[in-house]
Structure 1
């Protein structure tokens, strides 16, 4: 229906997400159990990936809008295999920092939608938007995010394998496939005159999405990279059980995204994001206080899907508001706005968890998520229906 190139991009996304599913569960546990690093040291490693990823996303996104998305996408897709090779070959802390920087380990989002390796996202989103009609984008982004989340959930199940080296080898093979399948994709991008649909033009739209990304990054960076470690240290779950819980969270998130186009058309993007993210914020707040493994697992399985269900509509809204010549730039700026603060909050969270309180990062995350919802209402309430391809501005 959408052509060979869309299918190849989907295969690439699925492959990368499967590798991300493995890594989202085991990298932190590998640091903790095999290398015996402190939570502070793990926070520094996660922070390195979280700092470098948004900078690369922004720089490469702008660069790809000038020379073409495919070339830069291929380059970034090979970052993750390189990062895994470092994990396989050395335990040197400086090289582990480089590995985290290349692989984006610890970035907010975890395995949902293939969070690891997010430097590829601006080019992939822009390239995909080039091949899909505006009114179809929420649907296509939902399908991509849904299937890649299923793949991530499947990857998480591989954590039943106890040998970290075997897991890294599997991730290396799968992530390499993600890059190779993009080679035949054709790029037709040429700068085109855009139809002005937002009062402030592209720069104003990019600014708004970047600002909203800041609080989203803070809220996720505080907790997401440490979820497997919290399950292990505070709730006593084994690595295989953690993998099962995180996998199920991915499956539930992916399944709920089937309803994203319908929810966006019925509720509007702003109401959808406020309702779902506010509910997830409350559940995040409860997570460290539940004192029971079953309740904590159920809480995680609820707040994870609610946190991400609006993502395809948000991507579609951004692509519909921004002209084709700035789409990778817009996605890269949004990534930077989200991931740079998440890097700082991830590093801070390692300190808070290690020295102060397990609950404090979750409390701050709740407040940041609620504030993020308020910003979405302020910025986008008058263009609420553009996620479904409707370019009418509501006054």
Structure 2
């Protein structure tokens, strides 16, 4: 791997460490320190998660138009700014801004899209231009694995003695993530003239957006509230919750090393259907387990199964799309997943308060099964593109 790949990896590691601890403590900070209700937490997570994918969609498009490194630097600065707001104020409207910039509450937690948020389209497109098609699933797996380990390590920072100390650490680390991409060299040259999007690219955008919608709904309903459920339902301490989330991240990262070989053996479609169907059943069981250690084991198992196929999905998407549209399509996929997750997160806070804790998990179960069926319908004929054994022309 060349120097620029290592710079991107360094930035992603630092961001993942910061995002890892924030994924554990932000919801607990809202409830325990600011004494917000679950409905108010749902509003904060939901509004923030709604604005984040809109920014992702817009910035992904403009990065293809004006340059990916430039937009990446801007978006990387969002996380330290959001943490600074948490340090300086408890004003509800400024907390909404903090949630939007930081991507707090977005589906995915400390692995996958949750860590990437607004920076994912630029990171993915810049990384894609540095590696050949046949290596992309492998490199995406390595990146996601290492960043998941980093996120798991970040979750352990929840042991620090105060929210203020945690937020200061997150501010410093996320600042390093921003600074580390300054020396990056960008090879891609934006087109001066607008080129119409091909019908093939439009079809890919449509399919990944539709599957992203259901994936976003299912994750948005449950992921942001899991630390709160561990605290309020099972009575676990913040440090114990951090340990459980960290273990989930480590298991996810370790299993993701097997994604390239599993993709070649099973194919992308069978891999995603198998892993997500099992995870859907485990998600359904989660709120009905009466013992904290059973709920912890359930979480630690379903978390990696939800993200195991992510590197293959990224490689498939990048291999299906021409070079000039990669950040745009990645942004559209993120938005397609995260905008519905924003609505479902807001709804989940209401359902947990007004109906039952279990209701969002039951809806997430159904959404995940439907999503798996759509992956089969849309992508069963293009499995080989996920591992680079077949490619499309660059352009």
Normalising by the smaller structure, the TM-score range is over 0.9
**Cα distance in 1 between the residues matched to 2:354 and 2:290:** 20
Q: CA deviation at 1:116?
A: 4.0
Q: Residue 243 of structure 2 corresponds to which residue in structure 1?
A: 244
Q: Residue 231 of structure 1 corresponds to which residue in structure 2?
A: 230
Q: Residue 27 of structure 2 corresponds to which residue in structure 1?
A: 28
* Alignment of 1:65 onto 2:64: yes
* Alignment of 1:127 onto 2:123: no
Q: Residue 9 of structure 2 corresponds to which residue in structure 1?
A: 10
Q: CA deviation at 1:384?
A: 1.1
Q: CA deviation at 1:190?
A: 2.8
Q: Residue 215 of structure 2 corresponds to which residue in structure 1?
A: 216
3-state DSSP of counterpart to 1:382:
coil
What TM-score does the superposition give when structure 1 sets the normalisation length? Answer: 0.96
Q: Is the 8 A contact 1:138 1:316 kept in 2?
A: yes
Q: Is the 8 A contact 2:107 2:113 kept in 1?
A: no
The two structures, once aligned, show a CA RMSD in angstroms of 1.2
Q: CA deviation at 1:18?
A: 0.2
What TM-score does the superposition give when structure 2 sets the normalisation length? Answer: 0.96
**Pairwise mapping of residues 115-264 of structure 1 onto structure 2 (< 5 A)?**
115-116=114-115, 118-190=117-189, 200-264=199-263
Q: Is the 8 A contact 1:16 1:178 kept in 2?
A: yes
Q: Is the 8 A contact 1:283 1:303 kept in 2?
A: yes
Q: Residue 89 of structure 2 corresponds to which residue in structure 1?
A: 90
Q: CA deviation at 1:391?
A: 2.1
Q: CA deviation at 1:99?
A: 0.5
Q: CA deviation at 1:191?
A: 5.7
Residues 331-385 of structure 1, C-alpha deviations (whole Å, 9 max, x = no match): 0000010000000000000101111100000000010001110000000001111
**Cα distance in 2 between the residues matched to 1:251 and 1:53:** 26
Q: Residue 382 of structure 2 corresponds to which residue in structure 1?
A: 383
**Cα distance in 2 between the residues matched to 1:121 and 1:365:** 24
Q: For the structure 1 residues 392 and 152, does the alpha-carbon distance in structure 2 shift closer, same or farther, using more than 3 Å as the test?
A: closer
Q: Is the 8 A contact 2:320 2:391 kept in 1?
A: no
Q: CA deviation at 1:162?
A: 3.0
Q: CA deviation at 1:113?
A: 3.5
Residues 105-155 of structure 1, C-alpha deviations (whole Å, 9 max, x = no match): 000001114724510000000010010100000000000000000000000
* Alignment of 1:268 onto 2:267: yes
Q: Is the 8 A contact 2:141 2:257 kept in 1?
A: yes
Q: Is the 8 A contact 1:17 1:113 kept in 2?
A: no
3-state DSSP of counterpart to 2:161:
coil
Q: Is the 8 A contact 2:283 2:361 kept in 1?
A: yes
**Cα distance in 2 between the residues matched to 1:345 and 1:285:** 16
3-state DSSP of counterpart to 1:167:
helix
**Cα distance in 1 between the residues matched to 2:175 and 2:68:** 19
**Cα distance in 2 between the residues matched to 1:85 and 1:116:** 18
**Cα distance in 1 between the residues matched to 2:283 and 2:89:** 35
**Cα distance in 2 between the residues matched to 1:388 and 1:59:** 29
Q: Is the 8 A contact 2:67 2:190 kept in 1?
A: no
Q: Residue 282 of structure 1 corresponds to which residue in structure 2?
A: 281
Residues 184-228 of structure 1, C-alpha deviations (whole Å, 9 max, x = no match): 000010369xxxxxx951111111101100000000000000000
* Alignment of 1:79 onto 2:50: no
Q: Is the 8 A contact 1:83 1:99 kept in 2?
A: yes
**Cα distance in 2 between the residues matched to 1:353 and 1:16:** 31
Q: CA deviation at 1:267?
A: 0.4
Q: For the structure 1 residues 391 and 114, does the alpha-carbon distance in structure 2 shift closer, same or farther, using more than 3 Å as the test?
A: closer
**Cα distance in 2 between the residues matched to 1:207 and 1:326:** 14
Q: Is the 8 A contact 1:114 1:149 kept in 2?
A: no
Q: Is the 8 A contact 1:18 1:114 kept in 2?
A: no
Moved more, 34-43 or 382-391: 382-391
**Cα distance in 1 between the residues matched to 2:115 and 2:129:** 24
**Cα distance in 1 between the residues matched to 2:179 and 2:306:** 31
**Cα distance in 2 between the residues matched to 1:82 and 1:362:** 33
Q: Is the 8 A contact 1:103 1:117 kept in 2?
A: no
**Cα distance in 1 between the residues matched to 2:87 and 2:73:** 22
**Cα distance in 2 between the residues matched to 1:249 and 1:116:** 15
Number of residues paired by the alignment?
Answer: 386
| Unaligned stretches of 5+ residues in structure 1 | 193-198
Q: Residue 195 of structure 1 corresponds to which residue in structure 2?
A: none
Q: Residue 106 of structure 2 corresponds to which residue in structure 1?
A: 107
**Cα distance in 2 between the residues matched to 1:114 and 1:149:** 11
Q: Residue 54 of structure 1 corresponds to which residue in structure 2?
A: 53
Residues 3-30 of structure 1, C-alpha deviations (whole Å, 9 max, x = no match): 0000000000000000000100000000
